[in-house]
Structure 1
Amino acid sequence: MTRRLLLSLPLLGFLMLMLFLYLGLGLNPFHRESRLVEEARAFPAFDLTTLEDPERRVDETLIQGDVTLVNVWGEWCPECKREMPQLLDLADRGVRLVGVNWKDTRDKALGFLEEFGDPFEVNIFDPEGELAFELGVYGAPESFLVDGNGIIRYHHTGYISPSDLREHILPEVQKWQ
Protein backbone atom coordinates (compact mmCIF):
# COMPACT_ATOMS: atom_id res chain seq x y z
CA MET A 1 0.00 0.00 0.00
CA THR A 2 2.79 2.41 0.89
CA ARG A 3 4.59 1.49 -2.30
CA ARG A 4 1.51 2.33 -4.40
CA LEU A 5 1.18 5.66 -2.60
CA LEU A 6 4.83 6.48 -3.34
CA LEU A 7 4.44 5.51 -6.99
CA SER A 8 1.33 7.71 -7.36
CA LEU A 9 3.07 10.85 -6.01
CA PRO A 10 4.76 11.74 -9.35
CA LEU A 11 1.41 11.36 -11.13
CA LEU A 12 -0.28 13.59 -8.56
CA GLY A 13 2.52 16.16 -8.89
CA PHE A 14 2.21 16.09 -12.67
CA LEU A 15 -1.56 16.60 -12.50
CA MET A 16 -1.13 19.55 -10.12
CA LEU A 17 1.47 21.10 -12.44
CA MET A 18 -0.86 20.68 -15.42
CA LEU A 19 -3.70 22.37 -13.52
CA PHE A 20 -1.41 25.26 -12.55
CA LEU A 21 -0.25 25.71 -16.16
CA TYR A 22 -3.79 25.45 -17.52
CA LEU A 23 -5.04 28.18 -15.18
CA GLY A 24 -1.96 30.37 -15.71
CA LEU A 25 -2.02 30.19 -19.50
CA GLY A 26 -5.64 31.31 -19.51
CA LEU A 27 -4.74 34.68 -17.95
CA ASN A 28 -4.32 37.83 -20.03
CA PRO A 29 -0.64 38.83 -19.73
CA PHE A 30 -1.46 42.47 -20.45
CA HIS A 31 -4.06 42.78 -17.71
CA ARG A 32 -2.79 44.00 -14.42
CA GLU A 33 -4.47 46.07 -11.79
CA SER A 34 -3.07 49.57 -11.52
CA ARG A 35 -2.80 51.02 -8.03
CA LEU A 36 -2.95 54.45 -9.68
CA VAL A 37 -6.52 53.67 -10.79
CA GLU A 38 -7.56 51.67 -7.70
CA GLU A 39 -6.59 54.52 -5.40
CA ALA A 40 -7.76 57.28 -7.80
CA ARG A 41 -4.33 58.91 -7.71
CA ALA A 42 -3.44 62.17 -9.33
CA PHE A 43 -1.20 62.13 -12.37
CA PRO A 44 2.37 62.26 -10.99
CA ALA A 45 4.23 65.55 -10.77
CA PHE A 46 6.85 66.08 -13.47
CA ASP A 47 8.86 68.83 -15.13
CA LEU A 48 10.11 67.85 -18.58
CA THR A 49 10.55 69.37 -22.02
CA THR A 50 8.36 68.74 -25.03
CA LEU A 51 9.58 66.55 -27.84
CA GLU A 52 9.01 69.23 -30.45
CA ASP A 53 10.66 72.13 -28.54
CA PRO A 54 13.55 71.41 -26.14
CA GLU A 55 13.15 74.92 -24.70
CA ARG A 56 9.49 74.42 -23.71
CA ARG A 57 8.99 72.89 -20.28
CA VAL A 58 5.71 71.31 -19.19
CA ASP A 59 4.47 69.90 -15.90
CA GLU A 60 1.47 68.00 -14.55
CA THR A 61 -0.83 71.01 -15.06
CA LEU A 62 -0.70 70.12 -18.77
CA ILE A 63 -2.87 67.08 -17.99
CA GLN A 64 -5.57 69.02 -16.11
CA GLY A 65 -8.68 70.70 -17.46
CA ASP A 66 -9.97 68.16 -20.00
CA VAL A 67 -10.29 64.39 -20.11
CA THR A 68 -6.97 63.32 -21.62
CA LEU A 69 -5.59 60.03 -22.86
CA VAL A 70 -1.88 59.94 -22.05
CA ASN A 71 -0.08 57.44 -24.26
CA VAL A 72 3.45 56.23 -23.49
CA TRP A 73 5.22 55.36 -26.75
CA GLY A 74 8.62 54.98 -28.37
CA GLU A 75 9.98 54.92 -31.89
CA TRP A 76 11.61 51.56 -31.11
CA CYS A 77 8.23 50.01 -30.19
CA PRO A 78 6.55 47.91 -32.95
CA GLU A 79 3.21 47.85 -31.12
CA CYS A 80 3.23 51.66 -30.98
CA LYS A 81 3.26 51.67 -34.77
CA ARG A 82 0.32 49.23 -34.86
CA GLU A 83 -1.83 51.33 -32.55
CA MET A 84 -1.22 54.67 -34.28
CA PRO A 85 -4.34 54.39 -36.53
CA GLN A 86 -6.50 53.99 -33.42
CA LEU A 87 -4.87 57.02 -31.75
CA LEU A 88 -5.37 59.08 -34.91
CA ASP A 89 -9.03 57.98 -34.88
CA LEU A 90 -9.39 59.12 -31.26
CA ALA A 91 -7.89 62.51 -32.13
CA ASP A 92 -10.30 62.81 -35.09
CA ARG A 93 -13.17 62.14 -32.66
CA GLY A 94 -12.04 65.07 -30.51
CA VAL A 95 -10.39 63.10 -27.71
CA ARG A 96 -7.46 65.01 -26.25
CA LEU A 97 -4.22 62.99 -26.45
CA VAL A 98 -0.87 63.72 -24.84
CA GLY A 99 2.10 61.56 -25.71
CA VAL A 100 4.98 60.57 -23.48
CA ASN A 101 7.93 59.72 -25.69
CA TRP A 102 9.82 57.18 -23.60
CA LYS A 103 13.53 56.28 -23.80
CA ASP A 104 14.01 57.70 -27.28
CA THR A 105 16.05 60.31 -29.11
CA ARG A 106 14.39 63.44 -30.44
CA ASP A 107 15.38 62.78 -34.05
CA LYS A 108 14.07 59.21 -34.12
CA ALA A 109 10.85 60.15 -32.32
CA LEU A 110 10.15 63.09 -34.63
CA GLY A 111 10.81 60.83 -37.63
CA PHE A 112 8.32 58.31 -36.23
CA LEU A 113 5.61 60.98 -35.94
CA GLU A 114 6.34 62.22 -39.44
CA GLU A 115 5.99 58.70 -40.84
CA PHE A 116 3.00 57.41 -38.83
CA GLY A 117 1.14 60.63 -37.97
CA ASP A 118 0.91 62.74 -34.83
CA PRO A 119 -2.38 62.53 -32.93
CA PHE A 120 -0.94 64.22 -29.84
CA GLU A 121 -1.65 67.76 -28.69
CA VAL A 122 1.73 67.70 -26.95
CA ASN A 123 4.50 65.13 -26.65
CA ILE A 124 6.38 65.03 -23.36
CA PHE A 125 10.01 64.02 -23.92
CA ASP A 126 11.05 61.43 -21.30
CA PRO A 127 14.41 60.05 -22.50
CA GLU A 128 15.49 58.85 -19.05
CA GLY A 129 12.10 57.32 -18.18
CA GLU A 130 11.46 59.47 -15.09
CA LEU A 131 7.76 60.06 -15.74
CA ALA A 132 7.23 56.53 -17.04
CA PHE A 133 8.76 55.19 -13.81
CA GLU A 134 6.38 57.31 -11.71
CA LEU A 135 3.47 55.95 -13.76
CA GLY A 136 4.63 52.36 -13.20
CA VAL A 137 5.17 51.73 -16.91
CA TYR A 138 6.95 48.47 -17.68
CA GLY A 139 6.57 48.42 -21.45
CA ALA A 140 5.29 50.53 -24.30
CA PRO A 141 2.67 51.21 -25.29
CA GLU A 142 0.66 51.99 -22.19
CA SER A 143 -2.17 54.49 -21.91
CA PHE A 144 -3.72 56.35 -18.99
CA LEU A 145 -7.07 58.11 -19.08
CA VAL A 146 -6.97 61.18 -16.86
CA ASP A 147 -10.08 63.14 -15.86
CA GLY A 148 -10.29 66.94 -15.93
CA ASN A 149 -9.04 67.14 -12.33
CA GLY A 150 -5.85 65.25 -13.17
CA ILE A 151 -6.96 61.94 -11.59
CA ILE A 152 -6.03 58.70 -13.38
CA ARG A 153 -9.28 56.82 -14.08
CA TYR A 154 -8.30 54.06 -16.50
CA HIS A 155 -5.09 52.25 -17.43
CA HIS A 156 -4.60 50.26 -20.63
CA THR A 157 -1.48 48.13 -21.04
CA GLY A 158 -0.28 47.15 -24.47
CA TYR A 159 -1.45 47.94 -27.97
CA ILE A 160 -4.86 49.58 -28.37
CA SER A 161 -6.63 47.42 -30.94
CA PRO A 162 -9.73 48.56 -32.86
CA SER A 163 -11.87 46.42 -30.53
CA ASP A 164 -10.13 47.91 -27.45
CA LEU A 165 -10.97 51.33 -28.83
CA ARG A 166 -14.68 50.46 -29.21
CA GLU A 167 -15.14 48.32 -26.11
CA HIS A 168 -12.90 50.01 -23.54
CA ILE A 169 -11.31 53.34 -24.46
CA LEU A 170 -14.32 55.19 -25.93
CA PRO A 171 -16.73 54.08 -23.16
CA GLU A 172 -14.19 55.18 -20.53
CA VAL A 173 -13.72 58.56 -22.24
CA GLN A 174 -17.50 59.08 -22.34
CA LYS A 175 -17.80 58.03 -18.72
CA TRP A 176 -15.38 60.71 -17.50
CA GLN A 177 -16.31 63.61 -19.81
Structure 2
Amino acid sequence: MKRWKLFLPLGFFLTFCVLLYIGLFMEDKSELPSMLLNKPVPEFSLKKLKQPEESVTEAALKGKVLLLNVWGSWCPACKVEHPYLIKLAREGINIVGVNYKDEHQDALKWLDRLEDPYLFNIVDKDGRLGLDLGVYGAPETFLIDKKGVIRHKHIGIIDNRVWKEDLKPRYDALQKELVQ
Protein backbone atom coordinates (compact mmCIF):
# COMPACT_ATOMS: atom_id res chain seq x y z
CA MET A 1 0.00 0.00 0.00
CA LYS A 2 2.84 2.40 0.79
CA ARG A 3 4.73 1.59 -2.43
CA TRP A 4 2.85 4.27 -4.38
CA LYS A 5 4.55 6.87 -2.15
CA LEU A 6 7.86 5.82 -3.67
CA PHE A 7 6.64 7.01 -7.08
CA LEU A 8 5.38 10.37 -5.80
CA PRO A 9 8.75 12.18 -6.28
CA LEU A 10 9.00 10.73 -9.80
CA GLY A 11 5.50 12.06 -10.58
CA PHE A 12 6.41 15.54 -9.34
CA PHE A 13 9.64 15.48 -11.33
CA LEU A 14 7.89 14.44 -14.57
CA THR A 15 5.20 17.11 -14.08
CA PHE A 16 7.92 19.72 -13.53
CA CYS A 17 9.75 18.59 -16.69
CA VAL A 18 6.59 18.87 -18.81
CA LEU A 19 5.83 22.36 -17.48
CA LEU A 20 9.43 23.45 -18.02
CA TYR A 21 9.33 22.18 -21.61
CA ILE A 22 6.08 24.06 -22.31
CA GLY A 23 7.48 27.24 -20.77
CA LEU A 24 10.76 27.13 -22.64
CA PHE A 25 9.79 25.84 -26.04
CA MET A 26 6.09 26.16 -26.72
CA GLU A 27 5.04 29.66 -25.61
CA ASP A 28 5.66 32.64 -27.87
CA LYS A 29 7.72 35.03 -25.74
CA SER A 30 6.95 37.99 -28.03
CA GLU A 31 3.24 37.64 -27.25
CA LEU A 32 3.15 38.44 -23.55
CA PRO A 33 -0.32 39.65 -22.62
CA SER A 34 -0.78 43.37 -22.18
CA MET A 35 -3.35 44.88 -19.86
CA LEU A 36 -3.53 47.84 -22.25
CA LEU A 37 -4.56 45.87 -25.32
CA ASN A 38 -7.56 47.62 -26.94
CA LYS A 39 -7.21 50.56 -24.56
CA PRO A 40 -5.95 54.09 -25.28
CA VAL A 41 -2.29 54.92 -24.88
CA PRO A 42 -1.87 56.13 -21.28
CA GLU A 43 -1.89 59.88 -20.71
CA PHE A 44 1.52 61.55 -20.71
CA SER A 45 3.20 64.89 -21.30
CA LEU A 46 6.88 64.52 -22.17
CA LYS A 47 9.53 66.38 -24.18
CA LYS A 48 10.58 65.61 -27.73
CA LEU A 49 14.14 64.36 -28.15
CA LYS A 50 15.20 66.67 -30.99
CA GLN A 51 13.01 69.60 -29.91
CA PRO A 52 13.35 69.53 -26.09
CA GLU A 53 11.47 72.82 -25.81
CA GLU A 54 8.37 71.06 -27.20
CA SER A 55 6.15 68.78 -25.15
CA VAL A 56 4.12 65.98 -26.66
CA THR A 57 1.08 64.17 -25.29
CA GLU A 58 -0.80 61.00 -26.18
CA ALA A 59 -2.96 63.16 -28.51
CA ALA A 60 0.00 63.28 -30.93
CA LEU A 61 -0.44 59.53 -31.47
CA LYS A 62 -3.91 59.92 -32.95
CA GLY A 63 -4.93 60.31 -36.58
CA LYS A 64 -2.75 57.67 -38.21
CA VAL A 65 -1.81 54.04 -37.70
CA LEU A 66 1.68 53.85 -36.25
CA LEU A 67 4.28 51.78 -34.52
CA LEU A 68 5.32 53.09 -31.09
CA ASN A 69 8.86 51.74 -30.72
CA VAL A 70 10.57 51.70 -27.30
CA TRP A 71 14.35 51.95 -27.74
CA GLY A 72 17.58 53.12 -26.11
CA SER A 73 21.11 53.77 -27.29
CA TRP A 74 22.26 51.44 -24.47
CA CYS A 75 20.26 48.53 -25.95
CA PRO A 76 22.20 46.01 -28.12
CA ALA A 77 18.99 44.48 -29.54
CA CYS A 78 17.82 47.96 -30.56
CA LYS A 79 20.96 48.33 -32.67
CA VAL A 80 20.13 45.07 -34.44
CA GLU A 81 16.54 46.22 -35.06
CA HIS A 82 17.38 49.77 -36.16
CA PRO A 83 18.26 49.11 -39.85
CA TYR A 84 14.92 47.37 -40.33
CA LEU A 85 13.06 50.32 -38.81
CA ILE A 86 14.85 52.58 -41.29
CA LYS A 87 13.68 50.31 -44.12
CA LEU A 88 10.08 50.46 -42.84
CA ALA A 89 10.20 54.25 -42.50
CA ARG A 90 11.45 54.56 -46.08
CA GLU A 91 8.45 52.44 -47.16
CA GLY A 92 6.12 54.97 -45.50
CA ILE A 93 5.43 53.17 -42.22
CA ASN A 94 4.72 55.66 -39.42
CA ILE A 95 7.03 55.07 -36.47
CA VAL A 96 7.22 57.10 -33.27
CA GLY A 97 10.07 56.43 -30.87
CA VAL A 98 10.05 56.28 -27.12
CA ASN A 99 13.63 56.92 -26.04
CA TYR A 100 13.60 54.84 -22.87
CA LYS A 101 15.83 55.56 -19.83
CA ASP A 102 18.56 57.02 -22.01
CA GLU A 103 21.05 59.88 -21.85
CA HIS A 104 19.93 62.74 -24.09
CA GLN A 105 23.27 63.21 -25.89
CA ASP A 106 23.77 59.46 -26.38
CA ALA A 107 20.35 59.19 -28.03
CA LEU A 108 21.04 62.15 -30.34
CA LYS A 109 24.43 60.74 -31.35
CA TRP A 110 22.81 57.34 -32.03
CA LEU A 111 20.26 58.86 -34.42
CA ASP A 112 22.89 61.06 -36.13
CA ARG A 113 25.19 58.07 -36.64
CA LEU A 114 22.63 55.40 -37.55
CA GLU A 115 19.87 57.54 -39.17
CA ASP A 116 16.50 58.52 -37.72
CA PRO A 117 13.49 56.42 -38.79
CA TYR A 118 11.08 58.14 -36.37
CA LEU A 119 8.45 60.79 -37.04
CA PHE A 120 9.53 62.09 -33.61
CA ASN A 121 10.88 60.71 -30.36
CA ILE A 122 9.36 60.97 -26.91
CA VAL A 123 11.92 61.29 -24.10
CA ASP A 124 11.09 58.85 -21.31
CA LYS A 125 14.16 59.53 -19.16
CA ASP A 126 12.75 58.17 -15.89
CA GLY A 127 10.81 55.32 -17.54
CA ARG A 128 7.38 56.47 -16.32
CA LEU A 129 5.70 56.12 -19.74
CA GLY A 130 7.37 52.73 -20.15
CA LEU A 131 6.00 51.68 -16.78
CA ASP A 132 2.51 52.87 -17.75
CA LEU A 133 2.78 50.92 -21.01
CA GLY A 134 3.93 47.78 -19.20
CA VAL A 135 7.34 47.75 -20.88
CA TYR A 136 9.61 44.88 -19.84
CA GLY A 137 12.67 46.25 -21.66
CA ALA A 138 13.78 47.39 -25.06
CA PRO A 139 13.00 46.95 -27.84
CA GLU A 140 9.26 46.72 -27.56
CA THR A 141 6.80 47.94 -30.16
CA PHE A 142 3.14 48.81 -29.85
CA LEU A 143 0.77 48.97 -32.81
CA ILE A 144 -1.45 52.03 -32.35
CA ASP A 145 -4.64 52.62 -34.35
CA LYS A 146 -5.93 55.96 -35.67
CA LYS A 147 -7.83 56.62 -32.44
CA GLY A 148 -4.71 56.21 -30.29
CA VAL A 149 -5.70 52.75 -29.07
CA ILE A 150 -3.10 50.01 -28.50
CA ARG A 151 -3.98 47.08 -30.77
CA HIS A 152 -0.91 44.86 -30.43
CA LYS A 153 2.33 44.59 -28.48
CA HIS A 154 5.49 42.98 -29.81
CA ILE A 155 8.41 42.27 -27.48
CA GLY A 156 11.79 41.96 -29.11
CA ILE A 157 13.40 42.80 -32.42
CA ILE A 158 11.32 43.59 -35.48
CA ASP A 159 12.85 41.88 -38.50
CA ASN A 160 11.55 40.83 -41.90
CA ARG A 161 9.81 37.70 -40.55
CA VAL A 162 8.12 39.51 -37.66
CA TRP A 163 7.02 42.34 -39.94
CA LYS A 164 5.64 40.19 -42.75
CA GLU A 165 4.03 37.46 -40.64
CA ASP A 166 2.76 39.45 -37.66
CA LEU A 167 2.86 43.24 -37.74
CA LYS A 168 2.25 44.08 -41.41
CA PRO A 169 -1.08 42.24 -41.70
CA ARG A 170 -2.29 43.98 -38.52
CA TYR A 171 -0.93 47.36 -39.67
CA ASP A 172 -2.59 47.03 -43.08
CA ALA A 173 -5.93 45.99 -41.54
CA LEU A 174 -5.89 49.03 -39.26
CA GLN A 175 -5.07 51.29 -42.21
CA LYS A 176 -8.28 50.15 -43.88
CA GLU A 177 -10.47 50.84 -40.84
CA LEU A 178 -12.57 53.98 -40.94
CA VAL A 179 -12.30 56.36 -38.00
CA GLN A 180 -15.70 57.33 -36.63
**What SS does structure 1 have at the residue aligned with 2:7?**
helix
Q: Deviations over 1:120-169 (max 9, x none)?
A: 01011110111111111111111111111111111111111220011112
Displacement of 1:7 in angstroms is: 2.1
Q: TM-score, normalised by structure 2?
A: 0.91
CA distance in 2, matches of 1:31, 1:125: 25
Matched residue, 1:63: 61
**Structure 1 residues not aligned, in runs of 5+:** none
Matched residue, 2:137: 139
CA distance in 2, matches of 1:171, 1:30: 16
| 1:86–1:165 contact (8 Å) kept in structure 2 | no
| 2:29–2:155 contact (8 Å) kept in structure 1 | no
1:45 equivalent to 2:11? Answer no
Output the amino acid matched with 1:6.
K
CA distance in 1, matches of 2:130, 2:13: 41
CA distance in 1, matches of 2:145, 2:22: 35
**What SS does structure 2 have at the residue aligned with 1:87?**
helix
CA distance in 2, matches of 1:153, 1:29: 18
Q: Deviations over 1:88-107 (max 9, x none)?
A: 11111111111000100110
Matched residue, 1:7: 6
| 2:31–2:153 contact (8 Å) kept in structure 1 | no
**What SS does structure 2 have at the residue aligned with 1:176?**
helix
- State percent identity of aligned pairs: 44
Matched residue, 2:162: 164
**Structure 2 residues not aligned, in runs of 5+:** 176-180
CA distance in 2, matches of 1:147, 1:30: 20
CA distance in 2, matches of 1:86, 1:169: 13
1:35 equivalent to 2:35? Answer yes
**What SS does structure 1 have at the residue aligned with 2:10?**
helix
1:16 equivalent to 2:26? Answer no
CA distance in 1, matches of 2:90, 2:43: 28
Matched residue, 2:121: 123
Output the amino acid matched with 1:75.
S
CA distance in 2, matches of 1:164, 1:117: 22
**What SS does structure 2 have at the residue aligned with 1:149?**
coil
**What SS does structure 2 have at the residue aligned with 1:35?**
coil
Displacement of 1:49 in angstroms is: 0.6
Number of aligned residue pairs: give it: 174
What is the aligned-residue RMSD (CA, Å)? 1.3
Output the amino acid matched with 1:100.
V
Matched residue, 2:178: none
CA distance in 1, matches of 2:169, 2:83: 18
CA distance in 2, matches of 1:153, 1:163: 19
CA distance in 2, matches of 1:147, 1:101: 21
CA distance in 2, matches of 1:118, 1:48: 19
